[in-house]
Amino acid sequence: MRHFEHIDAARRKHLFYRHPRPFDRHADPSVLGVALGATLYCPATRPALADDIERAALRGVMSMVVCLEDAIADGEVTAGETNLVAQLRTLHARTTGRVPAETRNVPLLFVRVRDPRQIGDLIGRLGDAAALVNGFVLPKFTASSGGAFLDALEDAATRTGLRLLAMPVIESPAAVYAETRTEMLHDVARLLAKHRRRILAVRIGATDMSAAYGLRRPPDLTIYDIRPVAGVICDVVNILGRVDGTGYVVTGPVWEYFSAGERMFKPQLRRSPFDAQRAAPLRERLITSDLDGLIREVHLDKANGLIGKTVIHPTHVAAVHALSVVTHEEYCDAADILDGTGGGAMASSYANKMNEAKPHRAWAQRLMLRARVFGVAAEDVTFVELLEAAGSP
């Protein structure tokens, strides 16, 4: 698997200074967690789920979650399970002879369950098709509820020999309310540490967090403008996203809009980068689809230590992935910092900032991991060109 493989080879050669490196579903979780990129959620009740998965892969989607929880109604759970099993068996049969676990037509697949018992039950019902499942998304995760999910995951992995990974979602009221948040997150950190080899990433459920206050962010604001939720994200990164060896990849919260309504504020994309690339129509399409808000939020995700994002529409994927590519300037800064083993400060290669070898080292190491997965843009290539190539709306 490799990001941007769906782009023509000649165009990739123009776009990248360093190309994205291939990875597979057996890669180290530190690599795989970064490689998730835009994780596309879809309901387990989709009647053509197998087709949807293959089409998504052809559009550059590298990770998908088939949801049996909030994406479907309470009365649809049994039907959703039945459909999920049938569709993944169909997908597995199609890919037999193409090394099903490695085929490029199947992204990294995860199942979001409601109950720990579903994990072992679904793996058993899938039979050989369970090889397509990389793990499970664990909702409303707390230290008290999460142990049963993780134990069920361990049991299923031991019984089948499959490598099954977990993505707990921080979204419960105990994680939101100030009087319980810190203790709850520390309890979660201790629980996850016991299962570290199974933890791929920590996801943030901003919709449920907002619901605790009766809030919903409008499309012309980012989640960071919703201060009660922004405070929770800050604490999740502080406790679960550290770079001292105790933390995990923390992914960005869902962007839930895919069509623009009435606007209160101006669009959030400057004209000049698009005019320079003669891409004014692209800017208009992004604004019409409300993707200018998504682009700003992804930018803020990265600035706050989050990588990747939950998305609910295929048109979101290109923006998340284009913004995940490391710029040539960032790469030069990181390389200079990592070369400065003796410490000290230096002017950047672009002569526009100061790089300090010690304080900026952890940032540089994280950036190099992202460069490995998403590549480094060529010196004169902008986000606009990457977005157009990746498959803008």
Burial group, residue 369, by CB count within 10 angstroms (0-12, 13-18, 19+) = middle
Nearest-CA neighbor of 324 among 229, 231, 238, 249?
249
Contact (Cβ atoms closer than 8 angstroms) between residue 309 and residue 33: no
Amino acid at 237: V
Q: In this predicted model, which residue has the larger pLDDT, 307 or 265?
A: 307
Nearest CA to 260 out of 218, 310, 225 is that of: 218
Q: Residue ranges per domain, the chain?
A: 28-324
Architecture of domain 28-324: Alpha-Beta Barrel (3.20)
Query: Residue 359: is its pLDDT beyond 70?
Result: yes
Q: Could you tell me if 338 and 21 are in contact, meaning their C-beta atoms sit under 8 angstroms apart?
A: no
Rg (CA), the chain: 21
Rounded to the nearest 10 degrees, how much is the dihedral formed by the CA atoms of 198, 199, 205, 209? 110
Enter the DSSP assignment of 379.
T
Return d(Cα 104, Cα 6) in angstroms, integer: 10
pLDDT of residue 258 exceeding 80, the answer is: no
Residue 76 pLDDT grade (very low, low, confident, very high; cuts 50, 70, 90): very high
pLDDT value, residue 89: 97
pLDDT in tens, 146-198: 999 999 999 999 999 999 999 999 999 999 999 999 999 999 999 999 999 99
Mean pLDDT of 79-95: 95
Q: What is the mean pLDDT of residues 361-366?
A: 94
Question: What pLDDT does 41 receive?
Answer: 97
Please classify residue 8 by burial: count the beta carbons closer than 10 Å to its beta carbon, then call 0-12 exposed, 13-18 middle and 19+ buried: exposed
Cα–Cα distances (Å) from 326 to 15, 179, 224, 336, in that order, read 12, 39, 23, 15
**Mean pLDDT of the residues in the chain:** 90
pLDDT at 161: 96
Quote the pLDDT of residue 102.
Answer: 45
Look at residue 275 in the predicted model and tell me its pLDDT: 60
- Beta strand 354-356 with 345-347 is antiparallel
pLDDT in tens, 300-348: 999 999 999 999 988 889 999 999 999 999 999 999 999 877 778 878 8
Higher pLDDT, 95 or 110: 110
Report the share of the chain in percent with pLDDT over 90: 75
* pLDDT exceeds cutoff 50 at 101: no
The string of pLDDT tens digits covering residues 224-239 is: 999 999 999 999 999 9
